[in-house]
Amino acid sequence: MTEPRIGLIGLGTMGRALTLNIAENAEPLAVYNRTTERTHEFMAQTRASEPALAERILPAETLLEFVDSLSSPRAIIIMVDAGPAVDKVIADLRPLLNDEDLIIDAGNANFHDTNRRAAEAEQQGVPFIGMGVSGGEEGARHGPSIMGGGPKDHWDRVAGVLQAISAKYQGTPCATWMGTGGAGHFVKAVHNGIEYADMQMIAETYGIFRDGKRRDAAAIGAVFAKWNEGPLQSYLVEISGKVATATDPETGKPMLDIILDRAGQKGTGRWTVIEAQHLGAAIPVIEAAVLARNTSAQLDRRQRGEHVFGPAPAPLPHDTLADATLEGAMIAGKIMCYAQGFDLLAAASGHFGWRLPMPDVARVWREGCIIRSTMLNDMATALADSPDENLIFAPFFRALIEKHIPDLRETVAMAQMHGLAVPALSAALSWFDMMRTGRSTANMIQGQRDFFGAHGFERTDKDGKGFHGPWAMNG
Ligand code: NDP
């Protein structure tokens, strides 16, 4: 093998899959892992299962051997645990590299860390790219969605390789440069926030079927499978149908009936919500999804609540909430959620000076990633037509909203009347109702603020700020 230009550090789940993908679809590469046994085990497995690919992978036992095995200018992808491990690997690598080389962090970094590492890289001389990779192990192996951030000229240097290994949407690679510094990792975090929300809305609809309509898991799975052939076509609806129809080989029961209702998280959804608060962006559907995961973790308390207050007064009356109504509610909820996600991206783009390419964000999510769906193609078109407009005002989505808001309203109203928790769907509806209320109730808030804190307000009938109410004179 001639000296490879690409190296990869970290042969965990994602690193192994990405290594095989690069070897198969791009070029030969060198690999290194902190624990050498893992490298040996990976190479032995690959030689046995995919000998042609093993020929294109050069394993190294030490970091120095790894760096020396690469031809300059090197491009080194780090795929290790996000956080201090990345700083440690960079600190070990930097003395061995020069300013022609490139370090790419492909883990799920917090974009603040990526901004810091980008700034350190500028001072210390080895260029740095922060790259969000979505699609899980399967995506990493056969085509992930890739969101890059950092110096554009260095991205361009490796773009060919990244596009070759990425997912393709009708032939277009899903690997795009989003902006400088932490832009790529920020877009990935928002992707994950939307993923939380999409999953939550599907779970809430499942709950209405299960508790409100007393439908069994297989029947619910069949509905999701049908929906996956319509406007809701997406990876998440597809796998939800498969999850619902699967049977536990041990007990013969539906898998969903034996999975404990306590959801985990690695924190990317939470980061999205925290950043939205910092930026003053409204993303209530994503917030509701994070809240729902947090609440799911309080299993004992929820069980006590059911014991003390009694379960929800379900089922729903027989003739309410037709399947088509629930499908319409999901369509409307999904549009609200994405509209909020893109609003957050726009807020961050302005604040951090990234100029995020909004249509390209939608395009890069069309394949390879967890939130891939048919609707994202329509979103890309809408954002290309009017990049600064909220998605709900784009003609295509406006028509869908007008058609399906009654479904969302009926679904949320019936669920709430019958005590079925639908935090994400109801957040979508409340946000929509706020967005179409020209005269909100914030005049009362301003009156209250002026009353207790003399904060001043604007008037509807005069220009200027800092007006006060009569309570100031009386007080
Ligand atoms: P794994 O737990 O499978 O592997 C972790 C890897 O990190 C191992 O190679 C481990 O090496 C290495 N590592 C940990 N600490 C250090 C350290 N201090 N110095 C050097 N190497 C270290 O993780 P994944 O492959 O699942 O995830 C890797 C990254 O990809 C994470 O940032 C994750 O969030 C992100 N990601 C994961 C996805 C997934 O679906 N799993 C999807 C998208 C992104 P060792 O063998 O020596 O322990």
Read off the amino acid at residue 335: I
Examine domains 6-181 and 442-473 and report if their fold is the same.
no
Dist CA 40 CA 296 (whole Å): 40
CA distance linking residue 240 with residue 236, whole number of Å: 6
Task: Return the residue whose CA atom lies nearest to atom 15 of ligand 1.
Answer: 85
Q: Is the CB of 468 under 6 A from ligand 1?
A: no
- 322-335 pLDDT, tens per residue? 999 999 999 999 99
Instruction: Classify domain 189-435 at the CATH topology level.
Output: N-(1-d-carboxylethyl)-l-norvaline Dehydrogenase; domain 2 (1.10.1040)
Please indicate whether residue 188 is annotated as part of the active site: yes
**pLDDT (0 to 100) of residue 148:** 98
> Is 195 noted as a catalytic residue in this protein?
yes
Query: Among 204, 465, 145, which residue's Cα sits nearest to residue 333?
Result: 204
The CATH code of domain 442-473 reads 1.20.5.320
CA 121 to centroid of ligand 1, rounded, Å: 22
Catalytic residue, from 24, 195, 204, 389: name it. 195
134 dihedral zone (left: phi>0; alpha: psi -120 to 50; beta):
beta
CB of 92 shorter than 6 A to ligand 1 = no
Residue nearest to atom 13 of ligand 1 (CA): 80
pLDDT at 312: 87
Going by alpha carbons, the residue nearest to atom 7 of ligand 1 is: 80
CA atoms of 321 and 209, how far apart (whole Å): 9
- Tokens read off for 98: 């020069």
- For the chain, which ranges sit under pLDDT 50? none
Q: Is 179 in the pocket of ligand 1 (CB under 6 A)?
A: no
Q: Taking the domains of the chain in order of start, what are their residue ranges?
A: 6-181, 189-435, 442-473
What is the whole-number distance in angstroms between the Cα of residue 449 and the centre of ligand 1? 49
Does the Cβ of 77 fall within 6 Å of ligand 1?
no
Residue range 6-181 in CATH 3.40.50.970: no
Task: Ligand 1, residue 10: give the atom nearest the CA.
Answer: 9
How remote is the CA of residue 137 from the centroid of ligand 1, in Å?
Answer: 12
pLDDT of residue 474: 56
Q: What is the DSSP string of 4-40?
A: PSEEEE--SHHHHHHHHHHHHHT--EEEE-SSHHHHH
